[in-house]
Structure formats: C-alpha cells, structure tokens
Structure 1
Amino acid sequence: MFRSMRRTKQILSSSECVAILERGTSGVLAVLGDDGYPYTIPLNYTYSEHKLFFHSAKTGHKIDAILANQKVSFCVIDQDLIVPEEYTSYFRSVIAFGKARILNTAPEIRTALELLTMKYSSSQTEEHRNHAIEKDFKAVCIVEVSIEVLSGKEAIELVRMKNRH
C-alpha cells in the first residue's frame, strides 16, 4: 500500500518521528481538492496518541475536501539548513498518512482545544486558556487525523554526524 523508502540509511526511527511531531509547530496538510487537484494547507497542529489535531473554520476548501475524501497526508519539516558550498541541505522531515475526521462531540472538541491551547499558549493561565476555548468553542471546527503510516527521513550528512558521536 505504501512505498518503502529507497535510502534506508536515512530513515528516522518511530521515536524520532514522534519527537519531530511533538516539537513541531506547523506543517502542511495535503488533501484531494477540487477537480482532483492536490490541495495543500500550511497549518498549526498538535500531536497526541498517534493523532494530529488542528482547528479550522467550519466551511471552506479544506473541510469540503476532507468530507469528500478522508485520506490525507501531513508533512512537518524539522530542519532545512542550506549548505551552499556542498550544494545541498541538511534536512529532517516527517510525513504522516492517515484518515481525517471532523470531531463532532463537545467533549472530544474540548479535549483537542485544550491540547492546542496548551501547546501554543502554555505560558497563559489555565483560566485564560479556558476562557479562550469558551469564547470560540461554537465557531471552531476541529479535525483529527488518525495516523496510519508515519515515516521520516534526514540528510545523509546528519546520519554521518550521528554515527561519529
């Protein structure tokens, strides 16, 4: 179903992939858009228990695409250091493939919003975060992506650096 990575030395372990998802703050969601064209959307997200969560308006291209086809991919670039003298970049990234669904019960929406506010506004008090959740609760749409396949890759130069240590 999913292709194997050709450059096996550059594959990241599952734990490294999860660490990238946990520390990342933005990624790019890919869906099957209008007229069969891919549609990609940069967005903020949070990761928990092999799932990604992000918020959205209740209507729009992204939501229409998810409702039409729940299969998505999501990419997070952890590092992209351009090294001009080597004509390359020292990159590290993760791609998740999974199925998206729009959350529709208040408890699951609240849980996802708590995860998101904690990730992006942990310096705020719990009272302040709860107020923000309540303020926008009825207007927000939350999408959950259940990850089926998670893969990561890094530049061979980064692999070599790890092996030296």
Structure 2
Amino acid sequence: MDRTEAGLNPPEHPMRRRDRALDEAEALGLLEEAEWGVLATADADGWPYAVPVNHAVVDVALIVHCATKGHKLENLAFNPKVSYCVVTEAEALPLELATRYASAIVFGHAELLEDEAEKRAALRALGLRFAAAHPDLVDREIDKDLFRTAVLRIRIERATGKARR
C-alpha cells in the first residue's frame, strides 16, 4: 500500500478544465502572492470548518497564527490534515457571465510550533510579510503577544492551481 492509499498523502483528483491548470511552481507562486486564504480543517465528526487567515510561505511551508485555543486548534488536535485555498486576480466579467481569476489549493499537515525560537522566527516572517518597512514594530508585537499566540506550520505536500486569465 502506498502513502496515498494509506491516507498519508492527499489524493489527486483529475481537473475537469485541464486547459486552465497551473503547474505546481505557478500554484506555489500564487500562494506567495496572495495576502490571505481560507484554511479548511475537519472535526472528529467529520464536520468541515473553513476560516480566512493570512499567511507567509517559509521553506515550502505555510505559516499561520491564531489564538492558543479555539475551533481550528481543536480540529487540528484530532486531525492535522488541512487544505488551504487562495484566489488572486478575481474580476467579474458580467457580459460573459464568468470570472477572471487565478487560484491555488495546497494540502498538507499542520503542526503547532512549540519551540520559542521557531515561533518567533515564524511570526517575524509573517509580520515582515505585511510590514516589511517596520521590523521594530514587528519585533515589539511579537515580544508583547508571543505567550498568547499559537503558530502553525503547514508542510505543503501537494499544490494545484487553476486560472482563467
């Protein structure tokens, strides 16, 4: 039995509109470009939970932060498998009854960072992504809020993308 059959790797599903498929490098590029995305988890009863969050990409992994307790952490304690979706270039085309877009979906396993140095480095990468001109502010906020902030690293195991440009 291979890793996918054993449920260790995300299954692949054929894309209906292959003419719009992006290769993995393009999908990962969209992930780096997008300012936010939607993280999907599932609880012990199989109920899905999808929540918008911002992210940073560090070493082919997503970095996400959250409170130290809550729905997403409860789900991840039961099942660390996640998917994450981003959309860029979204523009309605009313006269075509269509939308111009580029999107990426990644699959992976989330892990809670426990090591303080790892947490700080991940939060700094996330903070500098959105406030690159203000590293002192980023560091002050990390010092102030580190104890009440959980940091997730999602190791990307598969990435797909699709675009209508």
TM-score, normalised by the number of residues in structure 1: 0.89
Partner residue of 2:139? 130
Q: Secondary structure at the match of 2:148?
A: coil
The residue aligned with 1:163 is none
The reply on whether 1:108 has 2:90 as its aligned counterpart is: no
Tell me the equivalent position of 1:162. none
- CA–CA distance in 1 between the matches of 2:40 and 2:137? 33
Unmatched tracts of structure 1, length 5 or more: 159-165
**Counterpart in 2 of 1:53?**
63
Question: Which residues in structure 2 correspond to 1:1-165 (within 5 Å)?
Answer: 1-33=11-43, 35-124=45-134, 126-155=135-164, 158=165
Q: Paired residues, what number? A: 155
CA distance in 2, matches of 1:14, 1:36: 28
Fraction of identical pairs, as percent: 32
Deviant stretches of 4+, over 3 Å: none
Offset from partner CA, 1:70-109 (integer Å, 9 cap, x none): 0000000112211111111112100000000111101110
- Greater percentage in helix: 1
For residue 71 of structure 1, what is the amino acid of its counterpart? K
Instruction: Report the Cα distance in structure 1 between the residues aligned to 2:60 and 2:26, rounded to whole angstroms.
Output: 13
User: Which ranges in structure 2 are unaligned for 5 or more consecutive residues?
Assistant: 1-10
Superposed CA RMSD in Å reads 1.2
